[in-house]
Amino acid sequence: MAVQLRANTLRIVDVEDDTVLSLASIQGLWTEEQYLAMTDHSNRLLEFDNGYIEVLPMPIPEHQKILALLYELFVAFVRPRGGITLFAPLRVQIRPRKFREPDLVILRDVNDPRQHKRYWLGVDVAVEIVSDDDPEHDTKVKRVDYAEAGIPEYWIVNPLNDTVTVLALAGDAYAEHGVFRRGERASSQVLDGFSVDVDEVFNAK
């Protein structure tokens, strides 16, 4: 999901959407606790990076169709094996003062202690569906973020070129497990035996 990075347009509005107070001057000064409190009471997905609140755009129907399909496929595979699959909103801490909202997160153990009430401290697989608002946020920025967090596998599902890129952590950076296209099956390295039909993903209805 794309994001308006470090948006300077944060504002408090009244019921008619008129600006009551601009928050641009305090971008970069937000605390982690303020971010967590804000997301507890917001109807928008928000991310946090060193004092900056980042506002995620509302997903379009095509994004949601792909997300729904992938959720069903991951659940069908992971749940019988004792794991859990969830979708945003669910905050994942990259490190102190940095949080992301992956489209999908998977843990192989439903009792994994990284699950906390307010946010998770890590996942085994993160999935993002790229939108045309800011493709590089998912393909480049979050690739670095999720590697920093030590997430073993990152799926980049890109409807802009109909590819599914599966990245596996190798040391402190990701290496390509595979770039899968129409007519192929995208496979996981972390979830042994799991794969999805790329055509099915991008034809999701």
Residues 88 and 178 both lie in one domain: yes
Quote the domain boundaries for residue 105. 61-202
- In this prediction, residue 185 carries a pLDDT of 98
- In this prediction, residue 149 carries a pLDDT of 97
Q: Is residue 2 part of a domain?
A: no
Q: Mean pLDDT of residues grouped by 10 in the chain (205 residues)?
A: 46 65 75 89 86 87 97 98 96 96 97 95 97 90 97 98 98 97 98 98 96
Domain count, the chain: 2
- In this prediction, residue 32 carries a pLDDT of 87
- In this prediction, residue 11 carries a pLDDT of 59
- In this prediction, residue 3 carries a pLDDT of 37
Long-range Cβ contacts of 116-122 (<8 Å, 24+ apart): 118/36, 118/91, 119/36, 119/90, 119/91, 119/92, 119/93, 120/90, 120/91, 120/92, 120/93, 121/92, 121/93, 122/92, 122/93, 122/149, 122/150, 122/151
